[in-house]
Structure 1
Amino acid sequence: MTIFQNGHLKVRKLEKKDKFLLAKWLSNPKVLEFYEGRDNPFDIVKIEREFYLPEDNEVRCIVEFDGNEIGYVQFYQLDEETQKAYGYTTENVYGADQFIGEVAYWNKGIGTLLVSSMVRYLTEEVQAKRVVMDPQTRNKRAIRCYEKCGFKKVMLLPKNELHEGEYQDCWLIEYCT
């Protein structure tokens, strides 16, 4: 089922067969350097456990470009506890995470197209008032991409994410309508 499309870019709901793509991408050290960690590769069992839970509220999707499956994106409404921790009230705030798993598609502007298209979908179709993400401060390429898409740094989250055995600082970034 297609969630949204923008030219050559298409985002569709995750299907059972996609577990093999996720296992391929999430066992690649280049992808894991910034997503999950190189010391934390995924096999099929871990993919099924982490990505195919019926009870969570995340919308999990595969990213296609020119008909090729190249990445992953998920989005979700922030729960009340997380909204409070970030200083939000009862607004309609969504979070998102994504990666391009096919390294050959890096540095071609596709990430920027994906993030800007996702923001447009969330703000126009889902009526999100804000979209937030929390990239690691050392992930300069991703942060540049997000800033090109209109995100602003709003809060440093010290030692927010365990990554390769060390807690990493992250930025809380937001896109506000």
Structure 2
Amino acid sequence: MKIYADRAPVAIRQLVTDLLVAAWVYAAIWTALWLHELVGKLAVPGQKLEGAGSGLADNLGTVGGKVGRVPVVGDDLTSPFERAATAARSMAEAGHDQQALVHELALALAIGSLIVPIGLVLFVWLPLRVRWMRRAGAAVGLRADPAGQDLLALRALTHQPLRRLHRIDPEVVTAWRNGDEDTVRELAALELRGLGLRGS
């Protein structure tokens, strides 16, 4: 499989494109991680709320337990502390839920920001790059073989612009049919140049 063209201008263009795509992917991943971290900071109030609620619930439970030891009125005095501890636990749960929601949102936004750039790379650039590599690899295998030269010439006749074919010979099809070696070689070279490869 051929990765880069033989001809310098095409090979440089391919290399620059590959480097730009790599930079594009790196920037997309960096942006997604940055966005995830930025949105994740919104969970800080939830962490503080959870910590405060848990601490308050624990303290109220401790105080309620101590107050409950007071003879005669201890049980009556503990109920307000128990209700306050329950409210504090609800506050802690709300803080926990807010953190979970923020983390889910951060993950969704990070993945959403990656979909378009990574999708363009996987479904636009990569198929085109792989297709060129396959075509170039096949053409390299054909260029040294006389029958392969004929096949490349036929491909040039079907794919190359008419003005280029006319430059080779005004009667290029007739010359190809008659097996004119110079015409076949020039057509094959034309097809190879179209792929950025050297002739035979």
TM-score of the two chains, using structure 2 as the length reference = 0.22
TM-score of the two chains, using structure 1 as the length reference = 0.24
Q: Which has the higher contact order (CA 8 A, sep 6+)?
A: 2
The structure whose Rg is larger is 2
Larger helix proportion of the pair: 2
